[in-house]
Amino acid sequence: MIDETNGFDAVERRFNARFIELSIRLLVIGLLFYWTITIIQPFAAIFVWSGVMAVAFYPLFNKFSALLGGRQIIAASLMTLGGLLLVIGPATWVAFGFIEPVKDLISGIESGDLSIPPPAESVKDWPLIGGQIYAYWELASTNLTSALSMIAPQLKPVGQYMLGMARNAGDGTLKFLLSVILTGFVIASGAQFLAMIRALARRINPSSGDKFVDLAGATINAVSRGVMGVSLGQAVVGGIGIGLAKVPAASLLTMAILVLGIIQIGPLLVVAPVIFWAWTHLNTGPAIALTLCMLTVNYMDNVLKPMLLAHGLSTPMLVIFIGVIGGVIAHGLPGLFVGPVVLAVVWDLGKAWIEEDPIDPDLSLAPSAQK
């Protein structure tokens, strides 16, 4: 009986020792994981966007490096320099386009130079709220300070949000520059990164890991080239035309063209008012030039997207739209590009995984997912 008790105590002590040792290991791993996430969290959007751009531009990088005799470092450096030159100008212009109107509005309110035109008499005839709106509008046109003081508590959150948008615009420009620089390092080591990702995917899913990696790459290419690329091209062409014509709020209209293109609505909501403005404010020659420019922006979808999306984009528009909104809320300006790509990849991978045949993994992906 004594020997049995001693044996039981020895087993219990060994179990407790192993349990304590395992708990310590898990604690250390958890702390290291949490510490790593905390460190890289501010740069998450930069890392993701760098990876997206590296995947999208890798075929071009291969051709460019072949022209340079296989000098991949030089090719990556030149592509990074070209990317910086393309990003610095437009991104800085858009960022200042967000900041300047907010500063002008605040300074105009503080100095009293901001003027509100008086309301039309027809405002009184609006149902239910016409009288109240007319009275407040008339007060604002004569004494803006008193009118603002009446709604100051409601305006404070709006003002803070606008200032936050202005700050995020500047931060977004810096993140864009960092992501372009990081893309150069990633793309120069593309083969090693791809091998590592494939190995990780095979560890997670030995039977279909490679297929999922290929699907993710195809989705990134489809969204980044066929959606982001075309939308960015529309924004660049439209921004040049709007800027040269000195259309009011040019940078904001350019950003609207970009966003409307990404969420697959199209830039017509901006193109039509700009054309109307051109024919009411410009001479015939400049009006014709701006009209041709904006029509080019509007119909770039019809020409470029069929070329870049050979099999079409299977990701629903709602997923892209949620990606845009959620990406901007989470990461500011870079999230405009990161969000849709990430959600599109998750959507297509999730769809392929759901449609995978659990019996025969080699016949796992549906035809729509293999495009």
* pLDDT interval class at 161 (50, 70, 90): low
Burial class (CB in 10 A: 0-12, 13-18, 19+), 94: buried
Residue 11 predicted with pLDDT over 90: no
Q: What's residue 364's pLDDT?
A: 45
Q: What's residue 366's pLDDT?
A: 45
Distances, alpha carbon 343 to alpha carbons 103, 132, 283, 335, 351, in Å: 34, 45, 45, 11, 12
Query: Which residue intervals of 189-229 are DSSP H helices?
Result: 190-204, 209-221
Helix (H) or strand (E) segment spanning residue 338:
helix 335-354
Q: What's residue 291's pLDDT?
A: 93
Whether 141 and 117 have beta carbons less than 8 Å apart is answered as yes
Higher model confidence: residue 240 or residue 134? 240
Is the pTM above the cut of 0.75? no
Model pLDDT for residues 333-369, shown as the tens digit of each residue: 667 778 888 888 888 888 888 877 655 544 444 444 4
Higher model confidence: residue 291 or residue 371? 291
Average pLDDT of 146-165?
62
Quote the tokens at residue 47: 């890392």
DSSP assignment of 78-134, as one string?
HHHHHHHHHHHHHHHHHHHHHHHHHHHHHHHHHHT----PPPPGGGGGSTTTHHHHH
Higher model confidence: residue 36 or residue 5? 36
Model pLDDT for residues 93-145, shown as the tens digit of each residue: 555 555 556 565 556 555 555 567 777 777 777 777 777 777 777 777 776 66
Interior angle at CA 239, CA 233 and CA 240, nearest 5: 95
Model pLDDT for residues 249-265, shown as the tens digit of each residue: 787 788 888 888 887 78
Whether 211 and 230 have beta carbons less than 8 Å apart is answered as no
Least confident of 70-84, 86-100, 164-178: 86-100
% residues pLDDT > 90 (the chain): 6
Cα separation, 223 vs 99, whole angstroms: 29
Residue 298 predicted with pLDDT over 50: yes
Higher model confidence: residue 226 or residue 155? 226
Cα separation, 260 vs 266, whole angstroms: 5
